Amino acid sequence: MKSIAVIGTGIMGHGIATNFLAKGYNVFVWNRSAVKVGDLVAKGAVNCASPSEATLNADIIFEVTANDESSREVWCGKKGILAVAKSSQFLITCATLSLSWTEELVTLCSQRKIVFFDMPMTGSRFGAESGQLTLLVGGNEKKLEIIRTDLKAIAADVLYFGKTGNGMKYKLILNTLQAIHLAGFGETMRMAEELNLDVTKVGNALAEKPGGVVTKMAWRDYQVEPVKVNFSVELITKDLKYMQQANERASPLLDAALKVYQGAVKKGYGKNDWTKINKVE
């Protein structure tokens, strides 16, 4: 059985590490804040002093950090992943990153003849904790088949989008659509209130038709704010900025949605669940 390294044990990385441990894999973890690895160590994970130490011990390395800055540090730092990575390993970023940094990372790995996948995730906290993530993959399809069985430990579905970088492109498109949807839900619920409609009836009806995962989630969290954050306002804001940077044409809905989420961050809601946008005016 292959050994796994998980570099970054926030909400998503923690879930990944937990599920690999549950399936009997040897798991090596690193996180900037050691507090977040304590329970993983109790379950059998090995806490490493640096990303390079975790990489040395693993066959498959998952990087799950928050943004370009943290990702660049764990890949390119003196004790980073690329300082010790070998061609026999499988290197994966599960973070949502800018397309420019992703392409740079692709080049860095290619120069070293290292197998690399961009493999951002969708499924939020529940998907990570339950092992029911959907992985959005860009990279060598034949190499992907070698680790597909291992990915079943953390994912219900693996969607392949073609060459390296395409998984990240799709993830930014997906998050943009969902962010616009959430912001639109909050705005229409305010309209319902102003028109003196029964908000509960409106929410229940919208969750049914048009329905769908995002509408149901929006209505659920509109009624009761989640105790645990699934995905934060500041992270979706970051993703929208990355999409805006990559976009080559005018996108008024993207621009408008980004302003709404930036406004929520300025009001102090950055750490709240992204569905908080439904209640921010």
Domains and CATH numbers, the chain: 3-163 (3.40.50.720), 169-279 (1.10.1040.10)
Per-residue pLDDT of 224-261, as tens digits, reads: 999 999 999 999 999 999 999 999 899 999 999 999 99
Determine contact, residues 156/134, Cβ cutoff 8 Å: yes
pLDDT above 90 for 35 = no
Give me the phi and psi of 95, to 5 degrees please. Answer: -75, 160
Q: What is the DSSP letter of 142?
A: H
Q: Look at residue 56 in the predicted model and tell me its pLDDT.
A: 97
Q: Is 93 left (phi over 0), alpha (psi -120 to 50) or beta?
A: beta
* Residue 34: predicted pLDDT: 85
- Distance CA(20)–CA(17), nearest Å, equals 5
Q: Does the structure show a pLDDT above 90 at 85?
A: yes
- Is the pLDDT confidence value at 36 over 90? no
Q: Decide: pTM greater than 0.85.
A: yes
The predicted pLDDT at position 189 comes to 98
Sign of CA dihedral 18, 22, 23, 28: positive
Q: Which two tokens stand for residue 51?
A: 């990303």
The pLDDT confidence band at residue 67, using thresholds 50, 70 and 90, is very high
Residue 30 has pLDDT above 90, yes or no: yes
**Averaged confidence pLDDT in the chain:** 97
Is the previous residue joined to 252 through a cis bond, with omega within 30 degrees of 0?
Answer: no
